[in-house]
């Protein structure tokens, strides 16, 4: 144990702790903005944009294929991967955060007795 | 004058002194909360966001705080969960190949001026990064913060036995790493 040094405290920008309480209080006072779009809505936008970019959506109006089907075909045939689909969006990082947020919400609590610790 | 938990809680629960109480809560605990988060996420900007989120979440949930544990333990529980959730998110992102967070952290250790340039400290930071996040957290809480296993158990909701085993493994791995030439 003596071989392990104690970690030094991390340095912070000047006046950080003097200004932090006010920053947090300002956030707490702010009324909560409603989430403007859910993942479902985002997916619809993505799919729509993707199909529009493909330029084939209206190529053959007699074919009864939906936008969703078409995007899935591209994904299934490995012409598009998840990154391609994400890249159709203006803000892929924000979308990805949203998806992960929802996945995490569905997953198990972070601390469970059964999990492996080693 | 240092205010205690009971005074802070009493102020927060009164509509007339709610904001004053919240400010006192932040001023009393911001440094340890920030440090425990920063140890986990390393980058100041991330630690700043998560520290703010921790206090906002605490503020919103204070009505449900029953006082079975100290405010410190309760805040640490929120802070450590925030940190682990954040790291989990970053890992999932890595899966999508948009962002390699581990590499980013290693590079941060090498280049950040806010970490001690001491060679042994840098070695320690890098060896800590190789531990699983939860094991790293247990190591920080036990070794760096000097908390008892009982306190850590309250923060993490994990049994003392599991924590002791986890800590033992962490220490062995770090010792091995930093003594390697």
pLDDT(A58) > 60: no
The whole-number pLDDT of residue B35 equals 95
- Burial of A36-58, coded b for 16+ CB within 10 Å and e otherwise, reads eeeeeebbeebbebbbeebeebe
pLDDT(A115) > 60: no
The whole-number pLDDT of residue A75 equals 67
Q: Is residue A21 helix, strand or coil?
A: helix
pLDDT(B73) > 50: yes
The predicted model gives B115-122 an average pLDDT of: 69
pLDDT(B97) > 70: no
Q: How much of chain B exceeds pLDDT 70, in percent?
A: 90
Separation CA B78–CA B32 (nearest Å): 13
The predicted model gives A82-92 an average pLDDT of: 68
The whole-number pLDDT of residue B179 equals 78
pLDDT(B23) > 60: yes
The predicted model gives B63-79 an average pLDDT of: 86
Domain span at A68: 36-106
Separation CA B135–CA A55 (nearest Å): 51
Asked if the Cβ–Cβ distance from B143 to A6 is below 8 Å, we say: yes
pLDDT(A80) > 50: yes
Residues of B whose CB is below 8 A from A104:
85, 88-89
The predicted model gives A85-96 an average pLDDT of: 69
Separation CA B22–CA B8 (nearest Å): 7
For residue A9, is it within any domain? Answer: no
Distance of residue B55 Cα from the nearest chain A Cα, in angstroms:
7
For residue A59, is it within any domain? Answer: yes
Q: How much of chain B exceeds pLDDT 90, in percent?
A: 53
Separation CA B116–CA B51 (nearest Å): 22
For residue A60, is it within any domain? Answer: yes
Q: How confident is the model at residue A116 (pLDDT cuts 50, 70, 90)?
A: very low
CB-CB contact of B94 with B100 (8 Å): yes
The predicted model gives B138-148 an average pLDDT of: 93
Residues of B whose CB is below 8 A from A113:
158-159, 162
Please compute Rg for chain B using Cα positions. Answer: 18
For residue A13, is it within any domain? Answer: no
For residue A111, is it within any domain? Answer: no
The whole-number pLDDT of residue A118 equals 41
- Mean pLDDT score of chain A, rounded to an integer? 67
Q: How confident is the model at residue A103 (pLDDT cuts 50, 70, 90)?
A: low
DSSP H helices, chain A, are 16-29, 39-54, 67-76, 82-87, 92-106
- Which of B44, B54, B127, B177 should one mutate to test binding to chain A, selecting the residue with the greatest count of A CBs within 10 A? B44
- Mean pLDDT score of chain B, rounded to an integer? 86
For residue A11, is it within any domain? Answer: no
pLDDT(A113) > 50: no
Which domains, ranges and CATH numbers included, belong to chain B? 1-115 (1.10.1740.10), 118-181 (1.10.10.10)
Total domains, chain A: 1
pLDDT(B91) > 50: yes
For residue A112, is it within any domain? Answer: no
Tens-digit pLDDT profile for residues A24-45: 999 988 776 554 555 556 655 6
The predicted model gives B74-88 an average pLDDT of: 93
Range among A80-89, B12-21, B24-33 with highest mean pLDDT value? B24-33
For residue A22, is it within any domain? Answer: no
Which candidate from B22, B118, B159 shows the least CB-CB separation from A113? Answer: B159
The whole-number pLDDT of residue A82 equals 64
CB hemisphere CA count around A11 (13 angstroms): 9
Which candidate from A100, A115, A118 shows the least CB-CB separation from B169? Answer: A118
Chain B residue whose CA is closest to A87: B98
Task: Name the residue with higher pLDDT: B65 or B9.
Answer: B9
């Amino acid at each position: 144990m003596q071989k392990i040094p104690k970690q030094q405290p991390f340095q912070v920008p000047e006046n950080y702790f003097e200004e932090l309480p006010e920053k947090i209080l300002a956030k707490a006072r702010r009324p909560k903005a409603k989430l403007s779009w859910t993942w479902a809505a985002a997916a619809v936008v993505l799919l729509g944009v993707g199909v529009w970019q493909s330029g084939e959506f209206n190529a053959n109006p007699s074919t009864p294929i939906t936008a969703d089907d078409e995007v899935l075909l591209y994904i299934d045939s490995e012409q598009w991967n998840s990154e391609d689909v994400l890249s159709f969006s203006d803000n892929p990082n924000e979308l990805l955060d949203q998806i992960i947020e929802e996945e995490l919400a569905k997953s198990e609590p972070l601390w469970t007795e059964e999990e492996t610790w080693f | 004058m240092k205010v205690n938990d009971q005074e802070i809680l009493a102020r927060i629960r009164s509509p007339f002194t709610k904001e004053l109480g919240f400010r006192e809560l932040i001023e009393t605990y911001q440094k340890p909360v920030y440090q425990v988060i920063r140890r986990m996420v390393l980058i100041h900007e991330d630690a700043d966001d998560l520290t703010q989120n921790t206090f906002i979440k605490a503020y919103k949930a204070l009505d449900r705080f029953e006082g079975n544990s100290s405010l410190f333990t309760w805040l640490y529980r929120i802070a450590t969960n925030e940190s682990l959730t954040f790291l989990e998110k970053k890992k999932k992102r890595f899966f999508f190949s948009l962002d390699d967070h581990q590499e980013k952290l290693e590079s941060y250790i090498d280049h950040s001026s806010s970490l001690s340039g001491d060679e042994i400290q840098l070695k320690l930071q890098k060896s800590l990064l190789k531990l699983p996040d939860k094991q790293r957290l247990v190591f920080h809480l036990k070794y760096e913060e000097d908390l008892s296993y009982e306190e850590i158990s309250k923060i993490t909701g994990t049994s003392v036995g599991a924590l002791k085993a986890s800590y033992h493994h962490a220490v062995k791995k770090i010792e091995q790493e930093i003594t390697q030439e």
